[in-house]
Amino acid sequence: MTLPNNLNRESNGNSNPETNGVDSHQIVAQRGQPLGMVIEGSVSNGVEVRLDPGVSVEQIKVGTFVTLQGTDNRFFGVVTDIGLGSTDPRMKFTPLPSDDPFVIQALQGTVAFGTISVLPQLTLPDVVGDEQGPAAAKSIPAHFSRAYTASQEDVETVFGSEEDGNFWIGSPLDMETKLCLDLGELVKRSMGVFGKSGTGKTFLTRLLLTGIVQSGQASSLIFDMHSEYGWQGQDTDKGVTVKGLKQLFGAKVSTFTLDEEHSRRRGLSTDETVKIGYNHIEPEDVELLRESLNLSEVAASAAYNLREKFGEDNWLKEFLDAGKNGSLLELAEELQVNAGALRALYNRMGRFTRHGFMVEHSRVDTAAQMIEHLERGQHVVLEFGRYGDDEAAYILVSNLLTRRIHRKYVEAKESAMGGAGKEPRPLVIVIEEAHKFLNSAVASQTIFGIIARELRKYNVTLMVIDQRPSGIDSEVLSQVGTRFSCLLDNERDIDAVLSGTSGSRALRSVLSRLESKQQALVFGHALPLPVVVRVREYGTAFYETIQGGGDSDEEKKRKVDELFG
Amino acid sequence: MERRVGEVVESTSTSFMAQCYQLEGAPALGGLVRTDSPDIYGVVGTVTTEPLDSARPVLARGEGADSEEDVIRDNPQLARLLTSRFEVYIAGHIEDGVTRQYLPPRPPRVHSFVYACSPEEIAGFTSHLDLLRLLLNSDVSHADEIVGACIRQAATSHDQPNYFLAQACRTLAVELAADVARLNAILRRISP
């Protein structure tokens, strides 16, 4: 007995999704669990999917990836909202026997059903391995298109797979799939790691740096404020130490220290000890330290007068000598600056130069040393030891070194453009407490502000790590290509992180609902769409995936080119 | 084994009236019956037992009797003066060997025989449930009762009654998507 009528096929729940509107042989890509079908929508607001009777709303979470099989296209999207609907608006006023499972079961999924809102973001190639990659979705799937949870293949198609040389940073929410990042794209623009204190910024940064070191896509220079990245770091939650870059990669990583004693106390040997000579300090550095040293504008600008008088190399030493000899007043008169301001400058600079890493004259050009290491494809970690807590020292040293390194890079890049040399190797500079360098008052003056704005013109990009992104100059923040945001709860910080991002309203709710550990919202340049990542565990299992600190194929090729090319 | 239960005495496009051969011999409410040539299926909706001559109403006769059986035994003429009829709502037909769950082009002819369907036939016919729509829209005041009775009876003919019930519930839910109160009333009638 056959019935030609198949109208109630869908309602019977035994419909075969393989044949729904599309020839089954067209579809090669494997799909996840069927969820429901598209019932309405628009490009601006996304589509509404009515869940199948067997699918409970409780199984689905906001932020889950979904694929939608349209007639000609397959769409990839994110669940932005979940709702409950009913076919009869009077249902909410009708007393129903909630204790009768038979009735409730019959109503569930039919008259009373779940809906999910899906924002289609990409169109996927229908056939796996198709040359044509995912593209931004400019349309929506037709009525009655089927929705599925995204499969591992879908996620790999969108985010790239580990086999293709991408770096596995974690998994999407509620999936065991590996979520990968294209590090090549990542280091092309500046990036930012944000989050409240204790949300796993350091672990995420360490993971990203490990990826960068392993891939050999770029060199990195890390201003390691709290000595966490070089040899070892602390997991304060578990009370254990974790391996730093030097332990994982050996010779690929060089560690510099400002505080030799501190390193020795920790039983570590460092490759180089950094000394900063008075001759290395420039009036611009003083200007930058104004806030941390509590100097007035007049006092800071007196440094320029001093340089004019004593010359670039000697101004600070001569000035401090003059102060010691008690001839500050004469000097003030001669320079025509306020004597009080000059005295303030003398006091502050005198105190500052008492730091152990300051020497009267240093012939060693630390920046040149670092560049040498970086050019060899090594990665440099500068540990600040006990000076890490001294904000002024951190700002001064990182700014001073970066300025010199940047200058060399600009020269190298310009001669490469003129055909006289080879392209400098891409460099990622990692700074912590970024709002101190990049706040609106100083961002225009510090080298970091310049690097952030210049983007990748000179192959130098920044990785800024900060817990108060609202303190960072908005112009600089807008240049941060890829953002990794752990939990933030301050409204202004959330606004700052999401500034200039499309769909920030939907992301805002995601961001404030992140778990306080091991979760981050990643979006921007290196990813086709925003994604919440459960960050990979940084521990023994992770160390084993590091390939013995050897060189990647790309790195080997680069070295061969350098030797023979 | 088919059981002949009556004969069509009145016929319309949506329903027909059959007279029973035996007094009180009508099939149960909601039972599936079939006429022969053409094969038309229907669900029993209204069963009536009344005097043959409407001008001669039935009188109470048991005042002095001990039991109801005594009344029948003492008045053997009653079986000839009374008759049972049942109204059947058409639920589908067979056209060129294919079962269609919509109204036939012509109703059954008067004097067609009416048979009660076997469990196999019931299970076969109710493997699709578009007939529920015909019943729900049959415009009788007790359509919900007929639907409920029909589903309850059909379930006993299926190998997996619970699966059949679930299917029936989904079909009802689709048909009554805009009237949850009515849906709820029927669901409670078929709830096992």
Q: What is the pLDDT of residue B112?
A: 94
Which residue, among A142, A149, A187, has the nearest Cα to A167 in the 3D structure? A187
**What pLDDT sits at residue B148?**
95
Counting residues of chain B whose pLDDT is more than 70, the rounded percentage is 99
Of B125, B173, B181, the CB nearest to A94: B181
Closest listed residue to residue A78, CA positions, set A20, A15, A122 = A122
What would the pLDDT profile of A391-410 be if each residue is shown by its tens digit? 778 888 888 888 888 888 88
Of A104-108, A334-338, A342-346, A442-446, which one has max mean pLDDT? A104-108
pLDDT in tens, B58-80: 888 888 888 988 988 888 888 88
> What is the C-alpha R_g of chain B?
18
Tell me if residue A135 falls in helix, strand or coil: strand
Q: Residue B30 pLDDT > 80, yes or no?
A: yes
d(CA A95, CA A12) in angstroms, rounded, equals 26
pLDDT exceeds cutoff 50 at A1:
no
DSSP element (H, E) containing A292: helix A283-293
Q: How confident is the model at residue A4 (pLDDT cuts 50, 70, 90)?
A: very low
Most confident of A237-246, A258-267, B157-166: B157-166
At residue A39, the pLDDT reads 93
Smallest Cα distance from A89 to chain B, Å: 8
**pLDDT at residue A381, as a whole number:** 87
The more confidently predicted of residues B120 and A548 is B120
Q: Report how far residue A174's alpha carbon sits from residue A74's, in angstroms, rounded to the nearest whole number.
A: 22
* d(C-alpha A170, C-alpha A78), whole Å: 18
Chain B: residue whose CA lies nearest to A52 = B170
Chain A contact present for B46, CB below 8 A? no
Q: What is the mean pLDDT of residues A250-275?
A: 80
pLDDT of residue A9: 37
Q: What is the pLDDT of residue A11?
A: 39
| Interface touch A102/B180, C-beta < 8 Å | no
For residue A1, list chain B residues with Cβ-Cβ distance below 8 A.
98-99, 124-125, 127
A245 pLDDT above the threshold of 50 = yes
Q: What percent of chain A has pLDDT over 90?
A: 6
Please provide the average confidence, as pLDDT, over all residues in chain B.
91
Beta-ladder partners of A341 = none
B166 touches chain A (CB under 8 A): yes
The residue assigned the tokens 């990245």 is: A229
The residues facing A482 across adjacent strands are A191, A524
B179 touches chain A (CB under 8 A): yes
Interchain contact B56–A (C-beta under 8 A): no
CB A497 within 8 Å of CB A476: no
Q: Which residues of A touch B172 (CB under 8 A)?
A: 106
| Residues pairing with B32 in the sheet | B43
User: Which run of H or E residues covers position A387?
Assistant: none
Q: Which residue, chain included where needed, has tokens 């929410």?
A: A173
- Measured between beta carbons, which residues in chain A are less than 8 angstroms from residue B98? 1-2, 4
Residue A127: strand, helix, or coil: coil
Higher pLDDT, A223 or A19: A223
Helix (H, G, I), strand (E, B) or coil at B132: helix
The whole-number pLDDT of residue A552 equals 55
| pLDDT confidence tier of residue A3, bands split at 50, 70 and 90 | very low
Closest-approach residue (CA) in chain B for A94 = B181
Instruction: Tell me, yes or no, if B99 comes closer than 8 A to chain A by beta carbon.
Output: yes
Helix residue ranges per DSSP H, A27-182? 101-107, 152-159
Give the nearest chain A residue to B164 (CA atoms): A12
At residue B11 the predicted structure's pLDDT band, cuts being 50, 70 and 90, is very high
Nearest CA in chain B to A88: B178
In whole angstroms, give the CA distance from residue B51 to residue B79. Answer: 10
pLDDT of res. B48 = 94
CA A232 to CA A248: how far, in whole Å? 10
| Cut 0.80: pTM above it | no
Do residues A109 and A53 touch, judged by C-beta distance below 8 A?
yes
- DSSP assignment string, B135-189: HHTS--TTHHHHHHHHHHHHHHHSSSHHHHHHHHHHHHHHHTTT-HHHHHHHHHH
Whether B182 contacts chain A with CB within 8 A: no
Per the CB < 8 Å rule, is A2 touching B184? no
pLDDT at A19 over 50: no
Residue ranges covered by each domain of chain A: 16-159, 189-275+364-564, 278-352
> Residue A556: which pLDDT band, with cuts at 50, 70 and 90?
low
Domain chopping of chain B, boundaries: 3-190
**How many beta-carbon pairs under 8 angstroms link A with B?**
83
- B129 at the A interface (CB within 8 A)? yes
What is the per-residue pLDDT for B192?
77
The interface residues of chain A toward chain B in range 148-167, judged by CB-CB distance below 8 A, are none
Average the pLDDT over A342-355 and give the result: 80
Q: Are B81 and B60 in contact (CB under 8 A)?
A: no
Q: Specify the pLDDT at position B32.
A: 95
Backbone angles phi, psi at A546, to 5 degrees: -75, 125
If you measure CA to CA, which chain B residue comes closest to A53? Answer: B170
Residue A103 has its nearest CB partner, among B129, B171, B187, at B187
pLDDT value for A17 = 42
Tens digit of each residue's pLDDT (9 = 90 or more) over A68-89 = 998 888 899 888 889 999 988 8
Give per-residue pLDDT as tens, A165-223.
Answer: 788 888 887 777 888 888 888 888 888 999 888 888 888 888 888 888 888 778 888 88
| A219-228, A234-243, A331-340, B26-35 — most confident range | B26-35
Q: Is the pLDDT of residue A469 over 70?
A: yes
Give me the pLDDT at residue A219, please: 85
* Residue for token pair 């084993």: A544
> Does residue A522 carry a pLDDT above 50?
yes
Tell me which chain A residue has its CA closest to the CA of residue B192. Answer: A102
Instruction: With cut-offs at 50, 70 and 90, classify the pLDDT of residue A414.
Output: confident
How confident is the model over A280-311, as pLDDT tens digits? 888 887 877 777 777 788 878 888 888 887 88
Residue A237 has pLDDT above 80, yes or no: no
Going by C-alpha positions, the residue among A428, A462, A524 that lies closest to residue A213 is A428
Q: Which residues pair with A521 in a beta bridge?
A: A485, A532
Q: What SS3 state is found at A106?
A: helix
CB contact under 8 A, A97 and B98: no
Kind and range of the H or E run holding A328:
helix A328-335
CB of A159 within 8 A of CB of A166?
yes
Q: Which residues on neighbouring strands pair with residue A273, listed in sequence order?
A: A257
Which residue out of A10, A88, A105 would a mutagenesis test of the B interface target, given it has the greatest number of B Cβ atoms within 10 Å? A88
When pLDDT is averaged across residues A103-132 and rounded to a whole number, the result is 80
Is pLDDT at B177 greater than 70 in this prediction? yes
**How many angstroms away from the CA of B179 is the closest CA of chain A?**
6
In three-state form (DSSP H/G/I as H, E/B as E, the rest C), the secondary structure along A221-237 is EEEECCCCCCCEEEECC
Q: Do A97 and B184 touch (CB under 8 A)?
A: yes
Read off the pLDDT band of A543 (50, 70, 90): confident
Provide the pLDDT confidence category of residue A37 given band limits of 50, 70 and 90.
very high
Instruction: Determine the 3-state secondary structure of A461 from DSSP.
Output: strand
pLDDT at site A336: 80
User: Which tens digits make up the pLDDT trace of A134-166?
Assistant: 788 888 999 999 999 888 888 888 888 777 778
Distances (CA, A) of B134 to A111, B128, B131: 20, 13, 5
Query: Does the N-terminal peptide bond of residue A4 adopt cis geometry, omega within 30 degrees of 0?
Result: no
C-alpha span between A139 and A121 (Å, rounded)? 9
Q: Could you give the CA distance from residue A486 to residue A481 in angstroms, rounded to a whole number?
A: 16
Q: What are the tokens at A429?
A: 């500079």
With an 8 Å Cβ cutoff, is A11 touching chain B?
yes
Interface test with A, best of B130, B174, B188 (most A CBs within 10 A): B174
At residue A374, the pLDDT reads 82
Could you say which DSSP state residue A431 is in? E
pLDDT of residue A10: 37
For A189-275+364-564, CATH gives 3.40.50.300
Residue A442 has pLDDT above 80, yes or no: no
Q: Are A223 and A463 in contact (CB under 8 A)?
A: no
Question: Which chain A residues are Cβ-neighbours of B177 within 8 angstroms?
Answer: 87-88, 110-111
Determine the Cα–Cα distance for residues A561 and B8; give it in Å rounded to an integer: 99
Find, among A356, A406, A414, the residue nearest to A221 by Cα: A406
The pLDDT-based confidence of B38 (bands split at 50, 70, 90) is: confident
**Mean residue pLDDT across chain A:** 79
What pLDDT, on the 0 to 100 scale, is given for residue A126?
Answer: 67
Q: Do A12 and B187 touch (CB under 8 A)?
A: no
